[in-house]
């Protein structure tokens, strides 16, 4: 993983929006104990920075935002996962049931 970004690199930054004591009164206890955090991606405006340093980015629509550099060329981490045994047989089970029916019964 890249640890240094340069001007114009596409990066992800993060920032704390509300600290634990500043959260909305209606949030449940577990959520009250943690900060509200934000992440956004954009093109870095500083000449150079290490992960963890404060930087400015310009987002894809041109908004300038300050935050802590979290990732350079941030990749998408979600995927299809692997096969799930609980789903693997449903299709053949259902087809087997359907095959037992005669056309004139319906």
Tokens of 22: 């500043």
- With CB under 8 A as the contact rule, the residue among 24, 47, 52, 104 that binds other proteins is 24
- With CB under 8 A as the contact rule, the residue among 3, 4, 8, 27 that binds other proteins is 27
Interaction of residue 66 with other proteins, rule CB under 8 A: yes
Interaction of residue 99 with other proteins, rule CB under 8 A: no
Is 10 in contact with 73 (CB distance < 8 Å)?
yes
Q: Among residues 1 and 97, whose Cβ is nearest to other proteins?
A: 97
Calculate Rg over the CA atoms of the chain.
24
* Backbone φ and ψ of 94, nearest 5°: -70, -40
Interaction of residue 81 with other proteins, rule CB under 8 A: yes
| Class of residue 55 by CB neighbours under 10 A (exposed 0-12, middle 13-18, buried 19+) | buried
CB of 101 to other proteins, least distance (A): 6
* Degrees to nearest 5, angle at CA 2 with 75 and 54: 95
Site residues, other proteins (CB under 8 A):
15, 17-18, 22-24, 26-28, 30-31, 33-42, 59-63, 66-67, 76-84, 86-87, 90-91, 93-95, 97-98, 100-101, 106
């Amino acid at each position: 993983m890249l640890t240094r970004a340069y001007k114009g690199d596409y990066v992800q930054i993060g920032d704390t929006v509300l600290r634990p004591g500043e959260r909305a009164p209606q949030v449940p206890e577990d959520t009250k104990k943690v900060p509200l955090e934000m992440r956004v991606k954009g093109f870095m405006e500083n000449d150079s920075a290490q992960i963890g340093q404060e930087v400015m980015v310009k987002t894809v629509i041109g908004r300038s935002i300050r935050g802590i550099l979290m990732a350079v060329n941030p990749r998408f981490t979600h995927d299809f996962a692997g096969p799930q045994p609980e789903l693997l047989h449903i299709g053949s089970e259902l087809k087997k049931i359907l095959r037992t029916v005669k056309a004139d019964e319906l």
